[in-house]
């Protein structure tokens, strides 16, 4: 597993964009904590993230490449506009999914909703350049403490990823969930 800095990623950006597009499973920084993810269109890669996290069927959220992607693939009512305008930021919006072909069927299996994020973080430019959604979930096994530094990364997760983009310790908390389908805000 290769660990990259922001500078190293920028110098080799095309190489890593191709790896992500091709299905690499990787850890990346966000505006809150470290996430683990993959191309959300690649069913095999999504299954690998599920296996690493020991998370059989609970839905994953995606890091959307743009607000346009969200508008094209999710139902966004006028009443949702205030929450939508908080993007980018440390929130996950749960919306009704209108285009099931916009991601692999094992991202949010059996439900018609999707959690979407656009973190306020430089890595958003990478996801925008990819122009595909990536799975975004905390880099930990389900029910265990989330990763805040390379020192507390679970060894089994470390062994299962292709690369990591690391920018030092994080002191954030997971994103706030705003369920626009049910009209709820969930603090984590």
pLDDT, one tens digit per residue, over 93-152 is: 999 999 888 999 999 998 899 999 999 999 999 999 999 999 999 999 998 988 888 999
The per-residue pLDDT for 53 is 95
Give φ, ψ of 131 to 5 degrees: 65, 30
Domain coordinates in residue numbering, the chain: 2-186
The per-residue pLDDT for 57 is 85
pTM over the 0.85 mark: yes
| Among 105, 85, 89, CA closest to 97 | 105
Strand 91-97 relative to strand 113-117, pairing: antiparallel
Checking if the pLDDT of 167 tops 90, the result is yes
The per-residue pLDDT for 187 is 46
C-alpha distance from residue 187 to each of 92, 95, 106, 111 (Å): 11, 17, 25, 22
Strand 2-4 relative to strand 184-186, pairing: unpaired
H/E segment holding residue 1: none
CATH of domain 2-186: 3.90.870.10
Measured distance CA(53)–CA(140) in Å, rounded = 6
Q: How many helices (H) and strands (E) does the chain have?
A: 7, 11
**Cβ distance 95 to 65 under 8 Å?**
no
Q: What is the 3-state secondary structure (H, E, C) of 42-84?
A: CHHHHHHHHHHHCCCCCCCEEECCCHHHHHHHEECCHHHHHHH
Those residues with Cβ within 8 angstroms of residue 97's Cβ, 6 or more apart along the chain or in another chain: 73, 74, 75, 108, 112, 113, 114
The per-residue pLDDT for 45 is 97
The per-residue pLDDT for 61 is 95
Q: Where are the beta strands (DSSP E) in the chain?
A: 2-4, 26-29, 34-37, 61-63, 74-75, 91-97, 113-117, 134-138, 163-165, 176-179, 184-186
pLDDT band of residue 163 (cuts 50, 70, 90) is very high
């Amino acid at each position: 597993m290769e660990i990259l800095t922001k500078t190293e990623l920028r110098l080799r950006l095309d190489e890593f964009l191709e790896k992500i597009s091709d299905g690499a499973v990787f850890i990346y920084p966000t505006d809150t904590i470290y996430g683990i993810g993959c191309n959300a269109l690649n069913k095999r890669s999504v299954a690998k993230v599920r296996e690493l996290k020991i998370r059989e069927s609970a839905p994953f959220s995606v890091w959307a490449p743009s607000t346009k992607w969200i508008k094209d693939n999710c139902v966004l009512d006028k009443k949702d506009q205030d929450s939508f305008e908080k993007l980018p930021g440390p929130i996950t919006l749960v919306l009704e999914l209108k285009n099931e072909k916009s991601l692999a069927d094992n991202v949010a299996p059996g439900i018609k909703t999707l959690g979407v994020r656009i973190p306020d973080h430089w890595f958003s430019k990478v996801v925008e350049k990819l122009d595909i959604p990536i799975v975004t979930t905390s880099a930990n096994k389900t029910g265990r403490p989330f990763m805040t530094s390379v020192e507390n990364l679970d060894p089994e997760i470390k062994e299962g990823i292709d690369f990591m983009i690391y920018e030092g310790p994080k002191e954030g908390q997971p994103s706030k969930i705003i369920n626009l389908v049910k009209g709820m805000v969930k603090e984590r």
